[in-house]
Structure 1
């Protein structure tokens, strides 16, 4: 039996709060519910929360602002729940610090699988990871797997958890082309129902942070019809 973990749900729709709370409790979690950002922030600051499910459209301040405030304090997993489905919205949500993005209407069972996967990744971050003291390097792009830090051109690069794992995966086998499915399985888990745009959005963000040009890449190359790799096309 898994330890009982607490999930904070921030959404102004009463039906969604009740539905998600019910599914969380059925699956063995403690659910804290807030109808606006201020209530959510108060609950976060006064309880030990393991994960946040966050609506973007809140009545007091936006879910984006809420996400930024949380990111200033914590690396806790944040899954955004929103009716916005455009690629630009997904990229923006990931850019401001979300770990995952679920669009309405959603399957409660799929949402629970994503919660489980996010919490499992957090546990793995604490217990496992790459071999301590190991450095992964390609040119001036360096990952210190003990410190879980990334530098490029001598500058420290701030990556989200998923971005770090994707880049570390690519760097770990620089001769290999990783398909999107392999990246999802390695980073998210094999029970994660992702789609290509999510991985592409992460790659786009990583490239922007390390100053990589997708049309003439120095680090991450798109192998069309196959996936991604570190280095030039084979």
Structure 2
């Protein structure tokens, strides 16, 4: 059963949740905070809605019947950059981090606190809005043949091919390129990527960095660009040049 509102210029959030009680509660919660909300009970219903409407964020339950949330997240990330917040009842940290490694922007564990859920939704939406703002004073940068453009929010490899990135991944790489050869702590990276106090936990930084490495590192077992600094954080070990 889908709970749906008429389309308008408001921020529109898609909830993918098979439990009708939870879905209905989430719709009312999100509507009560001034957003539009639509729910889908499965991946196939989600696909039909995505084909008809533009959404600003997806709240995705991990444990769905049929295609689960992890598979849906992986599939969405292959073709879309829409922000994803995962809901999971899983208690193991490695399972919660899995969603982030597959491309989710953040996660909340069930049973969740409504205020925390809305804080995380608003934090993700803020980061997405920052990503859309023009940055006329930010020139493109290059490193080892790669090109990152803060204005267009695009990354191109040495052959000129565009590499798809989520908002969180791009923000992390931009933070590194803006601070080459400097040790950045997880707290600094959270701040630089507009996460704020309601953003992803520190461990999520590790998961997002893992995904950035998968896209730019020639050898994941021996990273060339993003170096882990024991007890310190991370360091971007490359010469970065700004283009005129």
- TM-score normalised by the chain length of structure 2: 0.80
Which of the residues 70, 80, 92 maps onto 1:74? 80
In 1, the alpha carbon distance for the partners of 2:127 and 2:37 equals 20
Q: Counterpart of 1:191?
A: 197
Is residue 148 from structure 1 mapped to residue 153 from structure 2 by the alignment? Answer: yes
In 2, the alpha carbon distance for the partners of 1:12 and 1:115 equals 20
Which of the residues 32, 38, 41 maps onto 2:38? 32
In 1, the alpha carbon distance for the partners of 2:140 and 2:75 equals 32
Greater RCO, CA 8 A, separation 6+: 2
Q: Unmatched 5+ residue regions in structure 1? A: none
Secondary structure, counterpart of 1:202 in structure 2 = helix
Give the superposition deviation at 1:164: 1.1
Secondary structure, counterpart of 1:206 in structure 2 = helix
Residues 176 and 128 (structure 1), Cα distance of their counterparts in 2 relative to 1, 3 Å cut: farther
Is residue 54 from structure 1 mapped to residue 54 from structure 2 by the alignment? Answer: no
Residues 210 and 69 (structure 1), Cα distance of their counterparts in 2 relative to 1, 3 Å cut: closer
What does 1:9-158 correspond to in 2, within 5 Å? Answer: 9-71=15-77, 74-129=80-135, 131-132=137-138, 134-154=139-159, 156=161, 157-158=163-164
Residues 196 and 69 (structure 1), Cα distance of their counterparts in 2 relative to 1, 3 Å cut: closer
What does 1:175-186 correspond to in 2, within 5 Å? Answer: 175-186=181-192
| Bigger shift: residues 92-101 or 168-177 | 92-101
Give the superposition deviation at 1:198: 0.6
Residues 209 and 70 (structure 1), Cα distance of their counterparts in 2 relative to 1, 3 Å cut: closer
- 4+ aligned runs moved over 6 Å, structure 1: none
In 2, the alpha carbon distance for the partners of 1:60 and 1:202 equals 27
In 2, the alpha carbon distance for the partners of 1:145 and 1:55 equals 32
Q: What is the total number of aligned residue pairs between the two structures?
A: 229
Give the conservation status (yes or no) of the 8 Å contact 2:103–2:211: no
Q: Unmatched 5+ residue regions in structure 2? A: 1-8, 239-244
In 1, the alpha carbon distance for the partners of 2:150 and 2:51 equals 30
In 2, the alpha carbon distance for the partners of 1:89 and 1:131 equals 40
In 1, the alpha carbon distance for the partners of 2:91 and 2:175 equals 27
Measured on the aligned residues, the alpha-carbon RMSD in Å equals 2.6
Deviations 1:165-188 (A, max 9, x none): 101101101143221112112214
Q: Counterpart of 2:5?
A: none
Give the conservation status (yes or no) of the 8 Å contact 2:190–2:202: no
Residues 226 and 130 (structure 1), Cα distance of their counterparts in 2 relative to 1, 3 Å cut: farther
